[in-house]
Amino acid sequence: MSPAPRKRFGQNFLHDPNIIRKIMASMAPVAEDHFVEIGPGRGAITKPLCAAAGVLDVIEIDRDLAAELQRQPWAANIRIHCSDALNFAFDRLGDAPRSLRLAGNLPYNISTPLLFHVLDYYQLFRDMHVMLQKEVVQRMTALPGSKNYGRLTVALAARCRVESLFVIRPGAFLPAPRVESAFARITPLEKPLLDEADTPLFDNILRHAFGQRRKQLHNALQELLSSEQIRAAGIDPVARAETLSVEQYVALCQAVRS
């Protein structure tokens, strides 16, 4: 008997065969692919991925689920890492740019910090396909000036293209979550909007700006930039964080550097 879902790990196991088919069609794995799956659970996506991809590493924090997966006859060639994905070093699996593909049903209770962690390794991935709470996907794809636009939106947009592919109803999971989910594709840009060396500074600017999003920009960023520097970057110092485009945040980063 499969281990019961554990609330502390935010486990909701996908079981709807139609959704599984849609997910597999969206990812279109081939024998040359090296996939990494976060949170394989009971193997709903893992089993067809194992059959289609050349190499499959899975990261599962639940020791009972990892052991159950290891016992499956179809899982003999899967490399199972019983580990917390929030602390996993993805460059252990390959260090060549765009050499990995990611799949995951990300636990809702840690989805945002997990996305930021994966983003630290974005250059390793050709693409990333993730199931998330629909609200998180709405934040990932939000436009400047909207209520969902925030730090996550800009951090992703500077490095990746994000697409919301389809909504998944609660009944597709056991147990059914109280919210709708969505399946998204994240594709790292061949030419990111900022240099790799500037990413720590860029992310620090976002933390300051959106950590105090009700404040005007010159107040939120006063530790990093003066009003004159903000204005010299072509941005109104009294603007608020959620009104700036990703390109304007890149301009602020360059202003700090200059």
pLDDT by residue for the chain (258 residues), tens only, comes to 454 444 444 467 899 999 999 999 999 999 999 999 999 989 999 999 999 999 999 999 999 999 999 999 999 889 999 999 999 999 999 889 999 999 998 888 899 999 999 999 999 999 999 999 999 999 999 999 999 999 999 999 999 999 999 999 999 998 888 899 999 999 999 999 999 899 999 999 999 999 987 889 999 999 999 999 999 999 999 999 999 999 999 999 999 988
The architecture that CATH gives domain 196-257 is: Orthogonal Bundle (1.10)
The whole-number pLDDT of residue 2 equals 55
CATH of 7-188, one of 3.40.50.1440, 1.10.30.50, 3.40.640.10, 3.40.50.150: 3.40.50.150
Q: What are the pLDDT digits (tens) for 45-85?
A: 999 999 999 999 999 999 999 999 999 999 988 999 999 99
Domain-wise residue ranges, the chain: 7-188, 196-257
Locate all alpha helices (DSSP H) within the chain, ordered by sequence.
Answer: 17-27, 46-52, 63-70, 111-119, 134-140, 151-157, 199-211, 217-220, 227-232, 246-257
Q: 10 Cβ partners below 8 Å, 6+ apart? A: 107, 108, 109, 110
Q: What are the pLDDT digits (tens) for 200-221?
A: 999 999 999 999 878 899 999 9
State residue 50 phi and psi, 5-degree precision.
-60, -40
